[in-house]
Chain A
Amino acid sequence: SQQGEEDPQALSIQEGENATMNCSYKTSINNLQWYRQNSGRGLVHLILIRSNEREKHSGRLRVTLDTSKKSSSLLITASRAADTASYFCATDKAGTALIFGKGTTLSVSS
Chain B
Amino acid sequence: NAGVTQTPKFRVLKTGQSMTLLCAQDMNHEYMYWYRQDPGMGLRLIHYSVGEGTTAKGEVPDGYNVSRLKKQNFLLGLESAAPSQTSVYFCASSYLPQGGDGYTFGSGTRLTVV
Q: In the complex, which residues of chain B have a beta carbon less than 8 angstroms from the beta carbon of A35?
A: 103, 105
Interface range, B side:
20 to 34
Beta-carbon contact of B48 and A45 below 8 Å? no
Q: Which of B44, B102, B105 contacts A33 (CB 8 A)?
A: B102
Beta-carbon contact of B106 and A30 below 8 Å? no
A1 near B: Cβ within 8 Å?
Answer: yes
The chain B residue sitting closest to A40, CB to CB, is B108
Q: In the complex, which residues of chain A have a beta carbon less than 8 angstroms from the beta carbon of B31?
A: 97
Beta-carbon contact of B103 and A43 below 8 Å? yes
Which candidate, B35-43, B64-72, B74-82, is the interface stretch facing chain A? B35-43
Q: Contacts A42-B108, A88-B42; is A30 near B100 (CB within 8 Å)?
A: yes
Contact with A along B71-114 (1 / 0, CB 8 A): 00000000000000000001010000011111111111000000
